[in-house]
Amino acid sequence: MTGICEGRVVVVTGAGRGLGRAHALAFAAEGAKVVVNDLGVGVDGAGGSGGPARAVADEIVAGGGTAVSHLGDIATAEGAASLVATAVDTFGRLDTLVNNAGFLRDRMLVNLGEDDWDAVMRVHLKGHFLPLKHAAAHWRAEAKGGGGTAARVVNTSSGAGLLGSVGQGNYAAAKAGIIGLTLVAAAELARYGVQVNAIAPAARTRMTEQTFAETMAAPAPGEFDAMSPSNVSPLVVWLGSADCAGVSGRVFEAEAGRITVMEGWRPGPTADKGARWTPVEAGGAVRKLLTEAEVPHPVYGMR
């Protein structure tokens, strides 16, 4: 290991399993002190247990690293505030926040209940906003107090947020919202030395193993495990380190051994009449413009 995060204090939400666990272990392996947050809920958000977070923290300590568990609900103001306080009170500082917590309530739109919509929006979008808000307030106070900072935030979006996903209207909307939040935070927090980026990972986790069972099966012994969550973590660790200076407001897709810079909405073909269109004129202009535009990628689940 390179020690790229030696001495940094890193918070990872949803770190009891899957991608979050892989991130926490990878940060610890690179010298970071890690706050392992997880409620230990089921894949649909039901139940809860402190076991997963404690187990990951214990695993880090057993391997010679430094970690502490945090069992608070980061989608509440109290839980998010205590998450930041745990890092600062235990280790004296906070350098990196990795927002990763989430669960699924998949339904087709006509069957999607309001509770399922609200629950997914709460854990993914609000669960990103509140830790980010409290961490940002801490870093702003540091900057105004004259302290230098190389703070980093890594948010977790999804291909569903970039392209859409059939049967996941709530999840896709939340993940798209995370990209918008990332762009705003990167712009607003730059003055305080905070860099904010997002990833759209693809890996074998509890949330994906049923949806993508065929493509995410474990490999034969000795073969590269293309869908291991650990493949995503090196990018997250780099984005959470001081070495990524100057990289902010970006979205990266990470899968297997591939890293892609995602390029989002930008102006394409344009028509300007210089006056108000009639509906028929507008329709004709749009049809012409669409012949000049790139064909969009298909929504996940469509063939």
List residues with catalytic annotation: 158, 171, 175
Within 8 A by CB and 6+ apart from 119, the residues are: 45, 103, 105
Q: Is 130 in contact with 75 (CB distance < 8 Å)? A: yes
Please give, one letter per residue, the 3-state secondary structure of the chain: CCCCCCCCEEEECCCCCHHHHHHHHHHHHCCCEEEEECCCCCCCCCCCCCHHHHHHHHHHHHCCCEEEEECCCCCCHHHHHHHHHHHHHHHCCCCEEECCCCCCCCECHHHCCHHHHHHHHHHHHHHHHHHHHHHHHHHHHHHHCCCCCCEEEEEECCHHHHHCECCEHHHHHHHHHHHHHHHHHHHHHHHHCEEEEEEEEECCCCCCCCCCCCCCCCCCCCCCCCCCHHHCHHHHHHHCCHHHCCCCCCEEEEECCEEEEECCCCCCCCCCCCCCCCHHHHHHHHHHHHHHCCCCCCCECCC
Distance CA 268, CA 290 (A): 10
Distance CA 14, CA 40 (A): 8
Distance CA 176, CA 173 (A): 5
Give, in order, the Cα–Cα distances in Å from 203 to each of 44, 251, 284: 18, 17, 43
